[in-house]
A and B are shown apart, each in its own frame.
Chain A
């Protein structure tokens, strides 16, 4: 296909906020100081499960410099969910701002606002609590047993699937006839996989500053991915109408899903309303680990049936997930574990429109920290289990793992039925694949990693080498749900203001939106001044999650820019006395056959000369398509059979994200996602003691890979054109996180002939697997 030539799209445009970032001028929430600001601190539970019999805060209140102490006695008793999703929320409303019961070590007990952080800390120590310690359950398999203590017993068990059995959420879908599919298989492979609990570990901790403006409205400055959801969710909790709340998102120091959670805003706002003063709460790094959100730990049973020629006949995934003390994203993350992984492959009756697939997921409560949204959103677990099983099947069929996958992968035009049945906590939307570069990704990645040569490598000795791969997909936004909107207006100097509710949390989405608008407007991206986001000033956006901003908000930017373009051209026709069809927008000018004028002159005409108006447009976008980006990841590893150490020597990621609006930023997303995935595969894991206390809530013991731990990574962008996306774009930000666990696990199998079924692949687990082999 011949692709149109773009001037702004497809360029490695410098980030529009880049100069502020590299000079330390970018202002994050922590860099805002308000006169009279108080410091908020939260008292955290020392017990995994306990009831507060009595709480005495008098002494704390009497401490000089303390302005307010909140306990469950003086905050509104309203059930909500911290999940930060659109309405109606698919997560159970099982949380109070402060409750008379605590459900994990680190749960909120009380909150203090004081003149200084030190005084606030002092005050926390003076709050006296009489506890009734309750038996706790720390194991997800035990959580459903009849003897397990019940964690949620609120009278209205809002949307909790089965509170008696500690089941927060469950889902089950079947397509076709999986039983028959398995019966018709020549070979069935079935195994259990375990995926641990990890943290997003954005370098900027959660932080929030609330205050009242001169009109008495509540202003919330917060490090959030979802300003509009924050406003809607806190309104009933602080008993204010939505219009009396303003949420501002300044620069954000990373979020990766964990800042979709509405964690600090309600309590911070209540402290402001109580004191009338600005209040700031910032989590410590330890609190960040303990009380923000984690990836769901899962136990997965994965089953694949295949004919001896390599045709898959049925697939099945059964998931048990640990949502921790609260059910934030309990349903939707688990839905995604199935809906992202399974539809990547056809089964043999596919031509008849039937896919033999069974998926079941159960998310249970335990008395452990709370799980939630983290980059990949359930897909990393799903791909670890499914792709490892496929690799094992290929081995048993004596097929090259790539040939086996190629035989069964989806193709353009396919319509995986599972996606229709399994959506975001409800039924999905029928999908037809309109772009699919997965085979090209495999081909290019194979060449780069030197697959054939490395698969044939002779192995032996203490350090064994292996190469493995995995095939991945994700989505682009939530179909029929995610909406983004953009407002653009023209200035006298020919520049534009672009206002969006979408939240650039470091991903570069401000730059992407500017490039898209600039493409339509025939100007440079740095002529589009992006402002994001402020619920008073920018149009609505569901927020930065589900890999949605480029695909959804990008299209809104394109539409708004097209509207501006129409208005500009209409004026230029009169100003230049030329025909509409002869006019083009280029380099910030409207060009006719004979003459040209600058955008600034058009704006001046509009503001001062003729039929005055502000040239401005707002557009919204929603999509019922959810085009998956595809990727093939490859890992070349060396495993030391004496120490159990796994070293990744080279990593290759070939990704089809449609048109990369900014190739450099798309590569950056891929590299960052791989970094997170490598930690998931190799080193990161929560460790608890037998009382549910987190043993490693610090970077010293919770191992995030450093610059010198990283392998050589080669990113290959494989262009396709997605007809439903802006200039052919799909998403790119989450998919890379799914790759390292299966690719490295498969490479370890190639190196050792031993399969590891639990991430992270620590030296202990490698040695254990070798001993048991």
Chain B
């Protein structure tokens, strides 16, 4: 079957199998920032943003993305053109192996788009589905809170 989906802002038609997962579709299209860790919704390294919501791509059928917008880490910021969340993660030295990082960037982006003033507890809640074995999360949490503040400043300037 064919679906119509906007990936990182670019509308595309994609042929998908009825039981194909969004994770497999995206990876086969070259979005390698979407990672595989368990394939059953338990680790969050496959997290992407589907119509504004952070979802696990390994649990989502590709067909569910029909007529929707998908944002992967590649769509949030690129080398030389980083999003403030990514800048903050670098400045805080938060990422270690980086395997969980794309998923965490997506969860953080979905959170901050919805709630520009999150508390530390809310940030931790938003990362609940993103397992990280390297960092103990603390520097990620600090980075996201820092990014939230910087994003508020920039959007304040724009208004």
A residues touching B (Cβ–Cβ < 8 Å)? 12, 14-15, 17-28, 30-31, 200-205, 251-254, 256, 282, 284-285, 505-508, 662, 664-665, 667-668, 671-672, 674-676, 698-700, 704, 706-708, 710, 713
Contact = CB atoms under 8 A, between A and B. Distances in A.
B138 to A, nearest CB: 5
A707 to B, nearest CB: 4
A706 B131 contact: yes
A675 B130 CA distance: 14
Contact of A699 (B42, B77, B78): B42
Contacts of B82: 19, 22-23
A392 B133 CA distance: 32
Interface string B91-102: 111111111111
B79 A20 contact: yes
Contacts of B121: 708
A505 B136 CA distance: 16
Contacts of B42: 285, 698-700
Contacts of A707: 123-125, 127-128, 130, 132, 137, 140-141
A255 B124 CA distance: 25
B32 A24 contact: yes
Interface string B68-94: 000011100111001000100111111
Contacts of A14: 90-91, 93
Contacts of B129: 706
Interface in B49-65: none
A676 B74 CA distance: 30
Interface of B: 31-40, 42-43, 45, 72-74, 77-79, 82, 86, 89-102, 105, 121, 123-125, 127-141
B92 to A, nearest CB: 7
12 contacts: A18-B89, A23-B33, A24-B72, A24-B102, A25-B74, A25-B79, A202-B97, A664-B92, A675-B137, A699-B43, A707-B125, A708-B128
A668 B97 contact: no
B37 to A, nearest CB: 5
Nearest to A674: B136
A254 B97 contact: yes
A710 B127 CA distance: 12
Contacts of A676: 133
- Tell me the interface secondary structure of chain B in the complex: loop
B115 to A, nearest CB: 16
Given A25-B79, A668-B94, 20 more contacts: A22-B95, A23-B86, A24-B31, A24-B74, A24-B105, A26-B98, A30-B35, A203-B132, A204-B99, A251-B98, A254-B99, A506-B134, A508-B96, A675-B132, A675-B133, A698-B38, A698-B40, A699-B38, A700-B42, A713-B138
A672 B131 contact: no
Contacts of B74: 23-25
A515 to B, nearest CB: 12
Contacts, number: 177
Given A676-B133, A710-B136, A713-B138, A15 B37 contact: no
Contact of B131 (A20, A251, A665, A704): A704
B93 A672 contact: no
B99 A253 contact: yes
B27 to A, nearest CB: 8
Nearest to B33: A24
A561 to B, nearest CB: 23
A201 B43 CA distance: 10
Given A698-B40, A707-B130, A203 B137 contact: no
Contacts of B91: 14
A562 B66 CA distance: 59
A675 to B, nearest CB: 4
Nearest to A666: B93
Contacts of A508: 93, 96
A672 B134 contact: yes
Contacts of B92: 664
A25 to B, nearest CB: 6
Contacts of A699: 38, 42-43, 131
Contacts of B134: 254, 506, 668, 672
B128 A706 contact: yes
Contacts of A200: 133
Nearest to A32: B32
B36 A30 contact: yes
B97 A505 contact: yes
A203 B79 contact: no
Contacts of B137: 675, 706-707, 710
A285 B124 contact: no
B98 A19 contact: no
Given A698-B38, A700-B42, A15 B86 contact: no
Contacts of A19: 79, 82, 86, 90
Nearest to A673: B136
Across chains A and B, which 10 residue pairs bring their CB atoms closest together, nearest first? A24-B33, A506-B97, A253-B99, A21-B98, A664-B93, A675-B136, A671-B136, A24-B73, A699-B42, A707-B127
